Structures are given as structure tokens and as C-alpha cells.
Amino acid sequence: MIKPLFSLYQKASKWDRLYIYLRLKFFSDYFKKIDELLPNVGRLVDLGSGYGLLANLLSLNSERRSVIGIDGDGKRIGIAEGTIGSRRNINFMAEKVSSIVFKDSEYDGLVMTDFLHHLPYQEQEEIMKKISQSIKLGGILVIGDVRERPKWKYYISYLADLVLYISKPKCFYRSAEEMKKFLEKYGFYTEIIPADKKNIFSLVIYAARKEKAL
């Protein structure tokens, strides 16, 4: 998985390529699990897509997916756009979360990885309301985030966030049970999937199936 994805970023700077390589090195199994949870057919959105690594994986693994990656960082989106080539089932858009407008029942699946905890709790509430309205009944929301245990992995994850997002040093984590209750409030039945095996980071995946409208 690493080589085909990494080969898409030949035009990126050496520092961006280093970051991309390390992210693929540490998170390839994590991305694979997320890919397996999302439908192989339908409209998908990767919210907080960054350089587009996961969005590209979703696109490459099924031509029957229509994938859009959305991120507020225009530089990263620019790099992601340079990876599209001749593919017609993927697109990227530079957009702030607070400005996003979704249509009702627009997507079969939505994913956020290492993104939600960077939003203040009130913004999390606001974006989750939009997300709930945008996903079809029976559709799935997949959230990759930081788990509160084991503690040593949690602290490594927190330190990595401080280093990589020095301009936004505060993180707004939720425990697994808090996240489950949070998602239930917006109509999702949630499965908690530990994803930190053989990884130094405290990764967890929430597979949230949309069961009822708001």
C-alpha cells in the first residue's frame, strides 16, 4: 500500500514527502481498516483530508466510489490535487469546516481521521449536526481518533499533536464512552474498534452507522 500511494506525491517538496512517508509508515494498517469499513460503492467524503492520503486510498481501491477530500489547508489541498492524474472518481476542495454546507442525505459514507479532536467541543457539535444530516440512513460515519488508554500511547499521541500542530496546541479529546454517547445523540449506532496494535499511537476507530434521522 505504501509504495503506490507514495508514488503519487513525486511533485511534493522533500519535507512534505518526508511527512507523507512517515504517516504512511505509521498509519498504513489504520488506513486499511478504515477503508474496509467504508462502502465500495457510493459517494464518500474525507473531512479534514490533509494531503489526501486516505482519500486517494479510497479512490484507488474502488472505481465505483466517488470520493471528495475536504480540508481548510489550501497548501495541502494543492498538493493533493496534484495526485489526481487521470482518475475521475476523486476530487479535492479547500474549505473551512465552519463554512461547509452539505445537502440532506448526500453521502453513503463520511470519514474523519485525526481531525475531530482539533475542533473545540462546540464546533464538534455543529459539524456533527451537519454530518448527521448529510449521511443517508444506513450510511456510515468512520472516525479515527485518539484513545485514552493505554496511557503511554495516549501521551505519545498528545505530544505528536503538540509538535505537528504547534499553532493549535489545545486538543479536545473525548473518551471512547463519551464519543459513543456523543454520536448516539446524532442518530448513530457506534462500534468502538481499537486500532493501536503494533503501533506507538493510541489509535481507535469509531464505526458509526446512521440509524435514525434527527
Least trusted range by pLDDT, from 64-68, 107-111, 174-178 = 174-178
C-alpha dihedral, 67 to 212 to 130 to 148, nearest 10° = -80
Q: Where are the domains of the chain?
A: 2-210
What average pLDDT does this structure show over 83-93?
97
- pLDDT tens sequence across 43-75: 999 999 999 999 999 999 999 999 999 999 999
- pLDDT tens sequence across 116-172: 999 999 999 999 999 999 999 999 999 999 988 888 888 888 788 777 765 565 789
Give the CA count within 13 Å in the CB-facing half-sphere of 146. Answer: 23
Residue 188, strand partner residues: 210
The pLDDT of residue 6 is above 70: yes
At which residue does the C-alpha cell 444530516 appear? 133
Distance CA 130, CA 99 (A): 11
Contact 200, 143 (CB under 8 A): no
Report the length, in residues, of the chain.
214
pTM: 0.93
Supply the angle between the helices 53-61 and 14-37 in degrees, to the nearest 10. Answer: 50
User: Hey, how many other C-beta atoms are within 10 angstroms of the C-beta on 11?
Assistant: 10
Asked if CATH classification 3.40.50.150 holds for the domain at 2-210, the reply, yes or no, is yes
